[in-house]
Structure 1
Amino acid sequence: MVSETCPYPWRTFIFLVVAGTLTGPLVIPYLLGLLAIAPGPQPPVLLRSLILSGFIENLKYLLPGAGIGLWVARKIGLGAPYLEGWLDGAPRPAQPLSSIVWPALFWATVTAIIAFGIDAFFRYALGVTTPAPEIHARIAVPWWRSGLASLWAPWAEEIFDRLFLLSLLAWLGMKLFRISGEGRWIALWVANVATALFFGWYHISNEELFVNPVSFIVALRTVLIVLPAGLAFGWIYIRRGLEAAILSHFFIDVIVHVVRPIVEHGLV
Protein backbone atom coordinates (compact mmCIF):
# COMPACT_ATOMS: atom_id res chain seq x y z
CA MET A 1 0.00 0.00 0.00
CA VAL A 2 2.31 2.74 1.28
CA SER A 3 6.05 2.58 0.70
CA GLU A 4 8.40 2.80 3.67
CA THR A 5 10.65 5.10 1.62
CA CYS A 6 8.03 7.86 1.39
CA PRO A 7 8.55 10.88 3.67
CA TYR A 8 6.58 10.89 6.92
CA PRO A 9 2.96 11.93 6.13
CA TRP A 10 2.67 14.97 8.37
CA ARG A 11 -0.44 16.33 6.67
CA THR A 12 -2.22 13.01 7.09
CA PHE A 13 -1.17 12.93 10.75
CA ILE A 14 -2.62 16.41 11.32
CA PHE A 15 -5.80 15.54 9.44
CA LEU A 16 -6.42 12.39 11.50
CA VAL A 17 -5.79 14.14 14.82
CA VAL A 18 -8.04 17.06 13.87
CA ALA A 19 -10.82 14.76 12.62
CA GLY A 20 -10.72 12.68 15.80
CA THR A 21 -10.60 15.78 18.00
CA LEU A 22 -13.38 17.76 16.30
CA THR A 23 -15.77 14.81 16.34
CA GLY A 24 -15.02 14.07 20.01
CA PRO A 25 -17.71 16.36 21.52
CA LEU A 26 -20.36 14.62 19.41
CA VAL A 27 -20.26 11.64 21.78
CA ILE A 28 -21.35 13.76 24.78
CA PRO A 29 -25.14 13.65 24.13
CA TYR A 30 -24.91 9.85 23.96
CA LEU A 31 -22.92 9.62 27.20
CA LEU A 32 -25.42 11.89 28.95
CA GLY A 33 -28.23 9.71 27.61
CA LEU A 34 -26.61 6.59 29.08
CA LEU A 35 -26.07 8.31 32.42
CA ALA A 36 -29.73 9.37 32.47
CA ILE A 37 -31.00 5.78 32.19
CA ALA A 38 -28.34 4.09 34.32
CA PRO A 39 -29.74 2.58 37.54
CA GLY A 40 -28.63 3.93 40.88
CA PRO A 41 -27.29 7.38 41.75
CA GLN A 42 -24.79 8.89 39.34
CA PRO A 43 -22.28 11.61 40.18
CA PRO A 44 -23.19 15.08 38.90
CA VAL A 45 -21.70 15.86 35.50
CA LEU A 46 -20.45 19.32 34.57
CA LEU A 47 -20.64 19.77 30.82
CA ARG A 48 -17.47 21.86 30.60
CA SER A 49 -15.58 19.27 32.64
CA LEU A 50 -16.89 16.50 30.40
CA ILE A 51 -15.78 18.38 27.28
CA LEU A 52 -12.34 19.15 28.71
CA SER A 53 -11.71 15.64 30.00
CA GLY A 54 -12.96 14.20 26.73
CA PHE A 55 -10.63 16.47 24.76
CA ILE A 56 -7.62 15.41 26.83
CA GLU A 57 -8.61 11.74 26.68
CA ASN A 58 -9.02 11.97 22.91
CA LEU A 59 -5.57 13.45 22.38
CA LYS A 60 -4.04 10.83 24.67
CA TYR A 61 -5.02 8.19 22.13
CA LEU A 62 -5.03 10.18 18.89
CA LEU A 63 -1.49 11.58 19.10
CA PRO A 64 0.32 8.24 19.51
CA GLY A 65 -2.34 6.45 17.49
CA ALA A 66 -1.85 8.61 14.42
CA GLY A 67 1.76 9.63 15.05
CA ILE A 68 3.31 6.24 15.74
CA GLY A 69 0.65 4.38 13.77
CA LEU A 70 1.46 6.07 10.46
CA TRP A 71 5.18 5.48 11.02
CA VAL A 72 4.97 1.80 11.92
CA ALA A 73 2.18 0.93 9.46
CA ARG A 74 4.22 1.86 6.39
CA LYS A 75 7.02 -0.43 7.59
CA ILE A 76 4.74 -3.37 6.85
CA GLY A 77 2.97 -1.90 3.83
CA LEU A 78 -0.13 -0.63 5.64
CA GLY A 79 -1.48 2.83 6.41
CA ALA A 80 -4.01 5.32 5.08
CA PRO A 81 -3.21 5.12 1.36
CA TYR A 82 -5.88 7.47 0.03
CA LEU A 83 -5.23 10.21 2.57
CA GLU A 84 -1.47 9.85 2.25
CA GLY A 85 -1.80 10.03 -1.52
CA TRP A 86 -3.99 13.13 -1.49
CA LEU A 87 -2.35 15.03 1.33
CA ASP A 88 1.29 13.93 1.27
CA GLY A 89 1.97 12.92 -2.30
CA ALA A 90 2.43 9.19 -1.66
CA PRO A 91 1.59 6.81 -4.52
CA ARG A 92 -2.18 6.51 -4.75
CA PRO A 93 -4.01 3.16 -4.82
CA ALA A 94 -4.91 1.89 -8.27
CA GLN A 95 -8.54 1.45 -7.22
CA PRO A 96 -10.71 4.54 -6.68
CA LEU A 97 -11.93 5.51 -3.23
CA SER A 98 -15.45 4.43 -4.17
CA SER A 99 -14.19 0.83 -4.39
CA ILE A 100 -14.02 0.57 -0.59
CA VAL A 101 -17.70 1.40 -0.05
CA TRP A 102 -19.26 -1.98 -0.80
CA PRO A 103 -16.73 -4.11 1.11
CA ALA A 104 -17.08 -1.75 4.07
CA LEU A 105 -20.88 -1.95 3.97
CA PHE A 106 -20.88 -5.73 3.46
CA TRP A 107 -18.72 -6.48 6.49
CA ALA A 108 -20.59 -3.96 8.61
CA THR A 109 -23.92 -5.60 7.76
CA VAL A 110 -22.68 -9.16 8.27
CA THR A 111 -21.03 -8.45 11.63
CA ALA A 112 -24.06 -6.46 12.84
CA ILE A 113 -26.29 -9.47 12.12
CA ILE A 114 -23.83 -11.76 13.92
CA ALA A 115 -23.77 -9.38 16.91
CA PHE A 116 -27.57 -9.34 17.10
CA GLY A 117 -27.58 -13.13 16.97
CA ILE A 118 -25.02 -13.45 19.78
CA ASP A 119 -27.00 -11.04 21.95
CA ALA A 120 -30.20 -12.99 21.28
CA PHE A 121 -28.49 -16.27 22.24
CA PHE A 122 -27.24 -14.85 25.54
CA ARG A 123 -30.64 -13.32 26.26
CA TYR A 124 -32.98 -16.18 25.41
CA ALA A 125 -30.74 -19.22 25.94
CA LEU A 126 -28.67 -18.03 28.91
CA GLY A 127 -31.00 -15.44 30.47
CA VAL A 128 -28.59 -12.49 30.22
CA THR A 129 -30.98 -9.54 30.03
CA THR A 130 -28.75 -6.62 31.02
CA PRO A 131 -28.45 -3.86 28.41
CA ALA A 132 -25.90 -4.25 25.63
CA PRO A 133 -25.12 -0.62 24.79
CA GLU A 134 -22.49 -1.62 22.22
CA ILE A 135 -25.35 -2.67 19.90
CA HIS A 136 -28.04 -0.36 21.36
CA ALA A 137 -29.90 -3.31 22.90
CA ARG A 138 -32.35 -2.55 25.71
CA ILE A 139 -31.24 1.05 26.18
CA ALA A 140 -33.68 3.95 25.85
CA VAL A 141 -31.30 6.46 24.29
CA PRO A 142 -32.72 8.40 21.30
CA TRP A 143 -31.26 7.50 17.91
CA TRP A 144 -29.98 11.02 17.24
CA ARG A 145 -27.76 10.93 20.33
CA SER A 146 -26.12 7.65 19.37
CA GLY A 147 -26.07 8.80 15.76
CA LEU A 148 -23.87 11.75 16.70
CA ALA A 149 -21.53 9.40 18.58
CA SER A 150 -21.29 7.33 15.40
CA LEU A 151 -19.42 10.21 13.79
CA TRP A 152 -16.66 10.04 16.43
CA ALA A 153 -16.01 6.39 17.28
CA PRO A 154 -14.88 5.30 13.79
CA TRP A 155 -12.13 7.92 13.76
CA ALA A 156 -10.81 7.54 17.30
CA GLU A 157 -11.09 3.76 17.60
CA GLU A 158 -9.78 2.85 14.15
CA ILE A 159 -6.85 5.25 14.43
CA PHE A 160 -5.78 3.74 17.74
CA ASP A 161 -6.83 0.11 17.34
CA ARG A 162 -6.08 -0.64 13.73
CA LEU A 163 -3.58 1.99 12.52
CA PHE A 164 -1.57 1.94 15.75
CA LEU A 165 -2.10 -1.26 17.72
CA LEU A 166 -2.61 -3.79 14.94
CA SER A 167 0.26 -2.34 12.90
CA LEU A 168 2.57 -2.23 15.91
CA LEU A 169 1.83 -5.81 16.98
CA ALA A 170 2.27 -7.11 13.44
CA TRP A 171 5.54 -5.22 12.97
CA LEU A 172 6.91 -6.43 16.30
CA GLY A 173 5.92 -9.99 15.46
CA MET A 174 7.68 -9.80 12.11
CA LYS A 175 10.79 -8.34 13.72
CA LEU A 176 11.00 -10.65 16.73
CA PHE A 177 10.36 -13.85 14.78
CA ARG A 178 12.06 -12.68 11.57
CA ILE A 179 8.94 -13.30 9.53
CA SER A 180 8.86 -12.45 5.84
CA GLY A 181 7.13 -13.54 2.65
CA GLU A 182 3.94 -15.54 3.11
CA GLY A 183 4.59 -15.75 6.86
CA ARG A 184 3.72 -12.06 6.97
CA TRP A 185 0.04 -13.01 6.91
CA ILE A 186 0.43 -15.07 10.07
CA ALA A 187 1.81 -12.03 11.91
CA LEU A 188 -0.95 -9.82 10.52
CA TRP A 189 -3.71 -12.23 11.60
CA VAL A 190 -2.27 -12.80 15.06
CA ALA A 191 -2.13 -9.02 15.45
CA ASN A 192 -5.68 -8.72 14.12
CA VAL A 193 -7.05 -11.26 16.61
CA ALA A 194 -5.18 -9.68 19.53
CA THR A 195 -6.41 -6.21 18.56
CA ALA A 196 -10.00 -7.41 18.16
CA LEU A 197 -9.89 -9.00 21.63
CA PHE A 198 -8.61 -5.71 23.06
CA PHE A 199 -11.37 -3.92 21.14
CA GLY A 200 -13.96 -6.15 22.79
CA TRP A 201 -12.35 -5.95 26.23
CA TYR A 202 -12.49 -2.18 26.54
CA HIS A 203 -16.16 -2.12 25.55
CA ILE A 204 -16.87 -3.97 28.81
CA SER A 205 -16.57 -0.62 30.61
CA ASN A 206 -19.89 0.44 29.02
CA GLU A 207 -21.62 -2.30 31.01
CA GLU A 208 -20.43 -0.85 34.33
CA LEU A 209 -23.15 1.80 34.08
CA PHE A 210 -25.81 -0.91 34.33
CA VAL A 211 -24.22 -3.66 36.43
CA ASN A 212 -21.26 -3.23 38.74
CA PRO A 213 -19.27 -5.34 39.15
CA VAL A 214 -19.65 -6.79 35.68
CA SER A 215 -20.18 -10.55 35.84
CA PHE A 216 -18.12 -12.95 33.75
CA ILE A 217 -21.10 -13.89 31.57
CA VAL A 218 -21.88 -10.24 30.77
CA ALA A 219 -18.22 -9.53 30.03
CA LEU A 220 -18.06 -12.60 27.78
CA ARG A 221 -21.20 -11.50 25.93
CA THR A 222 -19.72 -8.05 25.34
CA VAL A 223 -16.45 -9.39 23.97
CA LEU A 224 -18.21 -11.90 21.71
CA ILE A 225 -20.60 -9.24 20.40
CA VAL A 226 -17.79 -6.86 19.51
CA LEU A 227 -15.20 -9.44 18.37
CA PRO A 228 -16.57 -10.16 14.85
CA ALA A 229 -16.67 -6.46 14.00
CA GLY A 230 -13.15 -5.99 15.35
CA LEU A 231 -11.86 -8.84 13.19
CA ALA A 232 -13.65 -7.45 10.13
CA PHE A 233 -12.29 -3.94 10.66
CA GLY A 234 -8.80 -5.38 10.98
CA TRP A 235 -9.17 -7.47 7.84
CA ILE A 236 -10.47 -4.58 5.76
CA TYR A 237 -7.71 -2.35 7.16
CA ILE A 238 -5.08 -4.86 6.08
CA ARG A 239 -6.62 -5.30 2.64
CA ARG A 240 -7.83 -1.79 1.81
CA GLY A 241 -6.40 0.68 4.31
CA LEU A 242 -7.46 2.78 7.28
CA GLU A 243 -10.09 4.66 5.31
CA ALA A 244 -11.98 1.43 4.61
CA ALA A 245 -11.86 0.42 8.29
CA ILE A 246 -13.18 3.84 9.36
CA LEU A 247 -16.00 3.63 6.81
CA SER A 248 -16.99 0.09 7.81
CA HIS A 249 -16.98 1.10 11.49
CA PHE A 250 -19.22 4.06 10.61
CA PHE A 251 -21.63 1.82 8.71
CA ILE A 252 -22.04 -0.66 11.56
CA ASP A 253 -22.53 2.17 14.06
CA VAL A 254 -25.31 3.56 11.87
CA ILE A 255 -26.92 0.11 11.66
CA VAL A 256 -26.87 -0.59 15.41
CA HIS A 257 -27.17 2.93 16.84
CA VAL A 258 -29.43 4.67 14.31
CA VAL A 259 -31.37 2.15 12.23
CA ARG A 260 -32.07 -0.24 15.11
CA PRO A 261 -33.56 2.32 17.55
CA ILE A 262 -35.61 3.89 14.74
CA VAL A 263 -37.02 0.47 13.80
CA GLU A 264 -37.75 -0.38 17.45
CA HIS A 265 -38.97 2.98 18.75
CA GLY A 266 -39.58 5.23 15.74
CA LEU A 267 -38.31 8.77 15.22
CA VAL A 268 -38.61 9.84 18.86
Structure 2
Amino acid sequence: GLSKKGGLPGSFFLDIERNSCLQKIDWKLVLLPTPVLVFWSFTWFALIPPEPTELALASSPEWNSWIVYVYTFFSASILAPVTEEILYRHFAMGLLARWFGSSKPAVVINIGITSLIFAMAHAGVVTEDWIKIVQILPAGFLFGWVNYKKGVEHAILSHSVYNTLVIPISSLIEHFFMR
Protein backbone atom coordinates (compact mmCIF):
# COMPACT_ATOMS: atom_id res chain seq x y z
CA GLY A 1 0.00 0.00 0.00
CA LEU A 2 0.97 3.60 0.40
CA SER A 3 3.99 4.10 2.63
CA LYS A 4 3.30 6.10 5.78
CA LYS A 5 6.93 6.37 6.88
CA GLY A 6 8.89 9.55 6.39
CA GLY A 7 5.86 11.76 6.91
CA LEU A 8 4.50 11.88 3.36
CA PRO A 9 2.08 9.10 2.38
CA GLY A 10 3.28 7.23 -0.67
CA SER A 11 6.82 8.55 -0.42
CA PHE A 12 9.24 5.66 -0.49
CA PHE A 13 12.33 7.88 -0.67
CA LEU A 14 11.44 9.96 2.39
CA ASP A 15 11.83 6.95 4.66
CA ILE A 16 15.17 7.99 6.19
CA GLU A 17 15.49 4.71 8.06
CA ARG A 18 16.38 2.91 4.82
CA ASN A 19 20.07 2.57 3.97
CA SER A 20 19.67 2.75 0.22
CA CYS A 21 16.31 3.53 -1.29
CA LEU A 22 17.50 2.47 -4.76
CA GLN A 23 18.17 -1.05 -3.47
CA LYS A 24 14.57 -1.21 -2.24
CA ILE A 25 13.04 -0.60 -5.67
CA ASP A 26 11.00 -3.52 -6.95
CA TRP A 27 12.31 -3.44 -10.53
CA LYS A 28 10.10 -6.33 -11.58
CA LEU A 29 7.02 -4.31 -10.61
CA VAL A 30 8.43 -1.16 -12.23
CA LEU A 31 9.18 -2.91 -15.53
CA LEU A 32 6.12 -5.19 -15.72
CA PRO A 33 3.69 -2.64 -17.25
CA THR A 34 5.99 -1.61 -20.11
CA PRO A 35 5.71 -4.62 -22.47
CA VAL A 36 1.98 -4.88 -21.75
CA LEU A 37 1.40 -1.20 -22.53
CA VAL A 38 3.66 -1.15 -25.60
CA PHE A 39 1.85 -4.20 -27.00
CA TRP A 40 -1.57 -2.70 -26.19
CA SER A 41 -0.77 0.72 -27.68
CA PHE A 42 0.56 -0.61 -30.96
CA THR A 43 -2.21 -3.21 -31.27
CA TRP A 44 -4.90 -0.61 -30.57
CA PHE A 45 -3.44 1.93 -32.99
CA ALA A 46 -3.03 -0.80 -35.65
CA LEU A 47 -6.71 -1.70 -35.29
CA ILE A 48 -7.93 1.90 -35.19
CA PRO A 49 -5.27 4.21 -36.65
CA PRO A 50 -5.50 7.64 -35.04
CA GLU A 51 -5.37 10.89 -36.98
CA PRO A 52 -3.44 13.62 -35.15
CA THR A 53 -5.21 16.92 -34.57
CA GLU A 54 -3.96 20.10 -36.22
CA LEU A 55 -2.81 21.29 -32.79
CA ALA A 56 -0.78 18.10 -32.28
CA LEU A 57 0.81 18.48 -35.72
CA ALA A 58 1.55 22.17 -35.16
CA SER A 59 3.16 21.51 -31.78
CA SER A 60 5.24 18.55 -32.99
CA PRO A 61 8.89 19.51 -33.33
CA GLU A 62 10.94 18.97 -36.45
CA TRP A 63 13.32 16.08 -35.71
CA ASN A 64 16.34 17.78 -37.24
CA SER A 65 18.31 18.82 -34.18
CA TRP A 66 19.85 17.08 -31.19
CA ILE A 67 18.27 19.68 -28.91
CA VAL A 68 14.83 18.45 -30.01
CA TYR A 69 15.77 14.92 -28.94
CA VAL A 70 17.02 16.18 -25.57
CA TYR A 71 13.88 18.28 -25.04
CA THR A 72 11.57 15.41 -26.05
CA PHE A 73 13.43 12.95 -23.85
CA PHE A 74 13.32 15.31 -20.87
CA SER A 75 9.64 16.13 -21.37
CA ALA A 76 8.39 12.60 -21.99
CA SER A 77 10.77 10.55 -19.87
CA ILE A 78 11.25 12.76 -16.83
CA LEU A 79 8.92 15.76 -16.62
CA ALA A 80 5.62 14.08 -17.63
CA PRO A 81 6.03 10.96 -15.45
CA VAL A 82 7.03 12.98 -12.38
CA THR A 83 4.27 15.58 -12.67
CA GLU A 84 1.52 13.19 -13.78
CA GLU A 85 2.25 10.53 -11.18
CA ILE A 86 2.45 13.06 -8.36
CA LEU A 87 -0.82 14.65 -9.50
CA TYR A 88 -2.87 11.57 -10.39
CA ARG A 89 -1.40 8.84 -8.21
CA HIS A 90 -0.05 10.66 -5.16
CA PHE A 91 -2.53 13.50 -4.69
CA ALA A 92 -5.70 12.24 -6.41
CA MET A 93 -5.39 8.63 -5.24
CA GLY A 94 -4.42 9.85 -1.77
CA LEU A 95 -7.49 12.09 -1.61
CA LEU A 96 -9.82 9.37 -2.86
CA ALA A 97 -8.29 6.89 -0.38
CA ARG A 98 -9.25 9.28 2.43
CA TRP A 99 -12.80 9.50 1.07
CA PHE A 100 -13.41 5.87 0.10
CA GLY A 101 -11.08 4.01 2.45
CA SER A 102 -8.72 1.16 1.69
CA SER A 103 -10.99 -1.84 1.13
CA LYS A 104 -10.40 -3.75 -2.13
CA PRO A 105 -13.54 -2.33 -3.81
CA ALA A 106 -12.52 1.18 -2.70
CA VAL A 107 -9.03 0.72 -4.17
CA VAL A 108 -10.49 -0.51 -7.48
CA ILE A 109 -12.84 2.50 -7.61
CA ASN A 110 -9.97 4.82 -6.69
CA ILE A 111 -7.69 3.45 -9.42
CA GLY A 112 -10.59 3.50 -11.91
CA ILE A 113 -11.51 7.14 -11.25
CA THR A 114 -7.93 8.41 -11.36
CA SER A 115 -7.19 6.33 -14.48
CA LEU A 116 -10.17 7.79 -16.30
CA ILE A 117 -9.15 11.34 -15.37
CA PHE A 118 -5.56 10.56 -16.44
CA ALA A 119 -6.78 9.19 -19.79
CA MET A 120 -9.10 12.14 -20.40
CA ALA A 121 -6.21 14.52 -19.76
CA HIS A 122 -4.41 12.92 -22.72
CA ALA A 123 -7.31 13.64 -25.10
CA GLY A 124 -6.95 16.28 -27.79
CA VAL A 125 -3.95 14.86 -29.63
CA VAL A 126 -5.98 12.73 -32.06
CA THR A 127 -9.15 13.76 -33.87
CA GLU A 128 -11.29 11.16 -32.10
CA ASP A 129 -10.67 11.63 -28.38
CA TRP A 130 -12.12 8.23 -27.46
CA ILE A 131 -9.35 6.50 -29.43
CA LYS A 132 -6.65 8.11 -27.27
CA ILE A 133 -8.64 7.59 -24.06
CA VAL A 134 -9.02 3.86 -24.76
CA GLN A 135 -5.31 3.64 -25.65
CA ILE A 136 -4.07 5.37 -22.47
CA LEU A 137 -6.63 4.05 -19.96
CA PRO A 138 -4.74 0.78 -19.29
CA ALA A 139 -1.63 2.84 -18.50
CA GLY A 140 -3.59 4.67 -15.83
CA PHE A 141 -4.78 1.38 -14.35
CA LEU A 142 -1.30 -0.17 -14.33
CA PHE A 143 0.46 2.92 -12.95
CA GLY A 144 -2.29 3.20 -10.32
CA TRP A 145 -1.77 -0.45 -9.37
CA VAL A 146 2.01 0.07 -9.14
CA ASN A 147 1.41 3.13 -6.95
CA TYR A 148 -0.97 1.18 -4.72
CA LYS A 149 1.51 -1.69 -4.34
CA LYS A 150 4.76 0.23 -3.79
CA GLY A 151 4.20 4.00 -3.84
CA VAL A 152 4.50 6.98 -6.12
CA GLU A 153 8.23 6.59 -6.83
CA HIS A 154 7.62 3.17 -8.34
CA ALA A 155 4.77 4.58 -10.44
CA ILE A 156 7.03 7.42 -11.64
CA LEU A 157 9.75 4.96 -12.63
CA SER A 158 7.27 2.68 -14.41
CA HIS A 159 5.72 5.61 -16.31
CA SER A 160 9.18 6.89 -17.21
CA VAL A 161 10.34 3.52 -18.56
CA TYR A 162 7.20 3.23 -20.69
CA ASN A 163 7.48 6.75 -22.11
CA THR A 164 11.22 6.35 -22.70
CA LEU A 165 10.68 3.19 -24.77
CA VAL A 166 7.45 3.99 -26.60
CA ILE A 167 8.76 7.19 -28.24
CA PRO A 168 11.74 5.67 -30.09
CA ILE A 169 9.76 2.51 -30.92
CA SER A 170 6.91 4.53 -32.42
CA SER A 171 9.40 6.74 -34.30
CA LEU A 172 11.08 3.67 -35.80
CA ILE A 173 7.75 2.13 -36.80
CA GLU A 174 6.65 5.40 -38.37
CA HIS A 175 9.98 5.81 -40.20
CA PHE A 176 10.20 2.28 -41.60
CA PHE A 177 6.59 1.16 -42.00
CA MET A 178 4.38 4.23 -42.36
CA ARG A 179 6.06 6.04 -45.24
TM-score w.r.t. structure 2 length? 0.78
User: Compared with structure 1, are the counterparts of its residues 222 and 263 closer, same or farther at alpha carbon in structure 2 (3 Å cutoff)?
Assistant: closer
For the residue of structure 2 that corresponds to 1:206, the secondary structure is coil
Residues 187-198 of structure 1 mapped to structure 2, 5 A cutoff: 187-198=106-117
Picking from 244, 253, 265, the partner of 2:163 is 253
Partner of 2:97: 170
Q: Structure 2: how far apart are the matches of 1:7 and 1:98?
A: 15
Specify the alignment match of 1:237 in structure 2: 147
Mapped to 2, the partners of 1:116 and 1:222 lie a distance apart of: 12
Instruction: Identify which of 51, 59, 84 aligns with 2:14.
Output: 84
**TM-score normalized by structure 1?**
0.54
1:112 aligns with 2:43: no
Q: What is the alpha-carbon distance in structure 1 between the residues aligned to residue 161 and residue 41 of structure 2?
A: 14
Which structure 1 residue ranges, 5 or more long, are not aligned? 9-69, 124-128, 133-138, 175-179, 212-217
Taking only the aligned residue pairs, the percentage that are identical comes to 25
Per the alignment, do residues 258 and 148 of structure 1 end up closer, same or farther by CA in structure 2, a change over 3 Å counting? Answer: farther
Matched, 1:200 2:119: yes
Using the alignment, how far apart are the partners of 2:90 and 2:23 within structure 1? Answer: 18
Q: Does 1:103 align with 2:29?
A: yes
Instruction: State the Cα deviation string for residues 28-53 of structure 1 (Å, max 9, x = none).
Output: xxxxxxxxxxxxxxxxxxxxxxxxxx
Do residues 185 (structure 1) and 104 (structure 2) align? yes
Deviations 1:74-115 (A, max 9, x none): 3xxxx022x111xxx3x549x964642222122122112111
Secondary structure (helix, strand or coil) at the match of 2:39 reads helix
Aligned to 1:131: 52
Q: Are the equivalent residues in 1 in contact too, given 2:3–2:150 (CA < 8 A)?
A: no
**Structure 1 Cα separation of the partners of residues 51 and 148 of structure 2:** 34
**Residues in 2 aligned to 1:252 and 1:243: alpha-carbon distance in whole angstroms:** 14
Distance 1:194 1:141 in 2: 36
- Counterpart Cα distance in 2 of 1:249 and 1:239: 15
Q: Distance in 1 between matches of 2:173 and 2:123?
A: 26
- 3-state SS of 2:164 partner: helix
Pick closer, same or farther for the CA change 1:118–1:99 going to 2, 3 Å. same
Q: Tell me which residue corresponds to 1:227.
A: 137
Q: Is the 8 A contact 2:147 2:155 kept in 1?
A: yes
**2-structure distance, mates of 1:98, 1:259:** 29
| Change beyond 3 A, Cα 1:240–1:265 | same
Equivalent residues, number: 163
Structure 1 residues 257 and 193, CA gap change in structure 2 (3 angstroms): same
1:139-160 alpha-carbon deviations (Å, 9 max, x no partner): 7753724322122101000000
- Structure 2: state its 5+ residue gaps: 54-59
